[in-house]
Chain A
Amino acid sequence: MGYNILVVDDSLAMRSVIKKSVKASGFKVKQFFDAANGKEALNILKQEWFDLVLTDFNMPEMNGLELVAAMKKDDLLRTIPVVMISTEGSRLRIEDFFKKGVAGFIKKPFEPEEIRQNLNRIMGEPDDEQQFSEDSAEGLDF
């Protein structure tokens, strides 16, 4: 059993690295989906069932916070946890993310352990460091 995760970032390279890092972290993944910005993400969110959204903040067309605001207005999407993965790490910015309904924050650059700890906390999963060591070799081949 794993989670359906939507990864939203305008960089294809970064989406690939995020997916690889999540998998290497040992967090349970069923399937990944991709979107290049908030607008594209909203369309995909309406077509599939998602357990979690990992999004960049700074993107063209619709940024990460605008995506969260749009999801909060939609009865079917408002309960999906959104994790912001961003380079912008000022205290005020992070406080603003949480005030606006973001469930977690991961600062780039990140390490797989930080991802696993955050995602397990948000999804109410026990955090077991063994997950990383057992799954990381497989994950790195993603």
Chain B
Amino acid sequence: MNNNSLKIALKDSTFEVLEKMFFLTAEFARINNLNEFFQLPGSKIAAAKINFSGSVRGSLFVFLPQTLALSITADFLGDDPENISKEKIIETVKEILNMIAGGAFSKYDNSKIFNLDIPEMVNYDGVEKDGSNSGKEILLGVKTIEESLALRMDLMAEK
């Protein structure tokens, strides 16, 4: 497994999804620690997770301030933020993660099949504690014109 190739694939996929589906131009942001990166209480951060398996297996998370989740949902659906329900925000966040994961793995190794589970919303504070045990992880900070978001890929040992 080549972590650097996977990180590049994750970055390219993230930028492609944000640009094509959400018309957001993004750039890399330095990130060492999620709490330090967001400087927000955990209750203000939306988090979703998707498990994957194949030649690499593990979980991919997306973290974003709830205010950014609302505005990109409104842009995605072409609706006013006042008309956006919590359910629509949840679906949009899960769909962003699903698209980023699918794109990242096909860019990483187009000749292999990766299986993606159904994405789910998770508690940000819970994820922080779990993440410290994962061993190998890829952390990616992404700055948009609005706010920043982050992705974390927890990789499990190869079979």
What is A's interface to B at a CB cutoff of 8 Å? 10-14, 16-17, 20, 58-60, 86-93, 96, 107-111, 140, 142
Contacts and interface: CB of A to CB of B under 8 A. Distances in A.
Contacts of B80: none
Contact of B109 (A59, A60, A90, A110): A90
Contact of A90 (B76, B94, B99, B106): B106
Given A11-B91, A109-B16, A111-B20, A87 B111 contact: no
B95 A58 contact: no
Q: Assign chain B's interface to a size class.
A: 20 to 34
B16 A90 contact: no
Given A11-B91, A13-B95, A17-B21, A87 B77 contact: no
Nearest to B93: A13
Given A10-B118, A92-B113, A111-B20, A87 B103 contact: yes
B78 A11 contact: no
Contacts of A12: 87-88, 91
Interface of B: 16-17, 20-21, 73, 76-78, 87-88, 91-92, 94-95, 98-99, 101-103, 105-106, 109-114, 116, 118
B116 A90 contact: no
A90 B98 contact: no
Q: Which 6 A-B pairs have the closest CB atoms?
A: A87-B102, A89-B106, A109-B20, A13-B91, A109-B21, A11-B91
A93 B115 CA distance: 10
A13 B78 CA distance: 11
19 contacts: A11-B91, A11-B94, A11-B95, A12-B88, A13-B92, A13-B95, A20-B78, A87-B116, A89-B103, A90-B106, A90-B111, A90-B112, A90-B114, A107-B106, A109-B16, A109-B99, A111-B20, A140-B78, A142-B78
Dominant secondary structure at the A interface: loop
Contacts of B20: 109-111
Contacts of A111: 20
B105 A58 contact: no
A110 B92 CA distance: 15
B21 to A, nearest CB: 4
A89 B95 CA distance: 15
Given A12-B91, A92-B111, A108 B77 contact: no
A89 B91 contact: no
Contacts of A11: 91-92, 94-95
